[in-house]
Amino acid sequence: MVVPSPFVYWAQTEDAVSLKIDLKNVDQPNVKVLDSKVIFSAQGIGARGQSQYEFALDLYSPVKPNDGDNQPVVMRVFDNRVELSLQKSSGAWWPRLTAQPQKPAWLKINFDLWKSEDMQDSDEETRDIMKDYPGMYDQLHKEELGYRREEFKKVYLILYNLFQTIGFVYVLSVMSVRYSKLGYDSVIDTYEHVGSAMKFLHLMQILEILHPIFGYTKGGPFVPFAQLIGRIFVLFVMIECEPRMQAKPVVFYLFVVWSTIEIVRHLFYFTQLLNKEYPLLTWIRYTAWIPLYPMGISGEAYVMITNIQHFQETQIFNVSMPNDWNFIYNMPTHLRIHSSILVGPGLLFLMTHMYKMMRKRQRTEAAKLK
């Protein structure tokens, strides 16, 4: 009768190897750690149910066995697993756990522990093997899974930026094709043909405010909020709620500028997430904002200023006294204040933020050349 082997999950640091043995209700396991071999046997509940389980591993390099008062082998028994911590005889990263290249089917990699400097509690800064030894980490992933496993949030960000890139390319392509066929006549009904797509893409960009909150991207939520809220106001209030504005050429102009900005931005982020570097794209990303951002903000301000007369006529969104909340709101006054802030402090804030990003990127590139 063949005695089954339990599932064993292994991880390592430069100085130690850990084994997590997937067995429940283990009582007094028998463990022998020799120079380059680990032998384990115990009664417990595993993949085959309640049974006797055992395994033997010929290790890639020697480990320190227990010797008198010196106890480098640490075993801890829990209700649902047994953990072994082995000290390597010489500090070095192993390319694999076993001496032979072929590993048994029940031996798995415990990727959750591969970012830990020490298997024990430690106050020291942890290391990330993905950064320190990227080739080894990729090799282990491919050995275990057949492909390079990515974190969920990275896969999500790749798909998000790809979707946004394709979406804005679609908007710009439709506008370009229509203009090439119809000329200036296509400008008047731009909103009718691509307005829905533009609204959907900007609603999805609300996720970018949540990304830094949940740790998906660096920085804080204020900058993406400040950049997005103005566009949403222009798109959903200034244009969507005023049919006369939808037929004005400024809408075509704004959509071209917005789409160009977003295609460059999301395509750059997409390539960065794939660890691809394209110098031309990087240069465009950190220089195109110089003309495009003032053009976009001036277009948004123009829409607001033009709409002052329209909203004075329609009185839409105005709140007059008396009312239950003792509150008064005048949209034309709002637009005067909003547009003046947008072309003043708003533009200054946005351009300063982009300039800092550009300088930071330049310093990073200069450091790589040293």
- Where are the chain's structural domains? 8-145, 152-369
Q: What DSSP assignment string belongs to 159-213? A: HHHHHHHHHHHHHHHHHHHHHHHHTTHHHHTHHHHHHHHHHHHHHHTTHHHHHHH
**Catalytic residue chosen out of the listed positions 125, 240, 300, 355:** 300
Q: Provide the whole-model pTM.
A: 0.64
Q: Is the pLDDT of residue 150 over 80?
A: no
Stated as kind and residue range, the H or E segment containing 20 is strand 16-21
Residues 92-146 pLDDT 10s: 888 888 888 888 889 888 877 754 433 333 344 444 555 544 555 555 655 555 5
- Residue 138 confidence (pLDDT): 59
Percent of the chain predicted with pLDDT > 70: 88
**In the block, which residue shows the tokens 């930071």?**
360
Average pLDDT in the chain: 86
Is 300 noted as a catalytic residue in this protein? yes
Out of 37-51, 211-225, 306-320, 356-370, pick the least confident. 356-370
Neighbours of 364 (CB within 10 A): 9
Could you tell me the CA-to-CA distances from 200 to 54, 164, 235, 240, 285 in Å, in that order? 58, 10, 11, 13, 24
Q: Which fold has domain 8-145?
A: Immunoglobulin-like (2.60.40)
Q: Give yes or no for residue 153 having a pLDDT over 80.
A: yes
Min mean pLDDT across 29-38, 145-154, 229-238, 326-335 is at 145-154
Q: What is the DSSP letter of 24?
A: B
Query: How much is the average pLDDT of 318-328?
Result: 86
pLDDT one-digit tens code per residue, 168-179? 999 999 999 999
Res 370: pLDDT: 60
Catalytic one of 277, 293, 329, 365: 293
Q: Which of 88-102, 200-214, 229-243 has the lowest mean pLDDT?
A: 88-102
Across 44-48, 144-148, 264-268, the highest mean pLDDT is recorded for 264-268
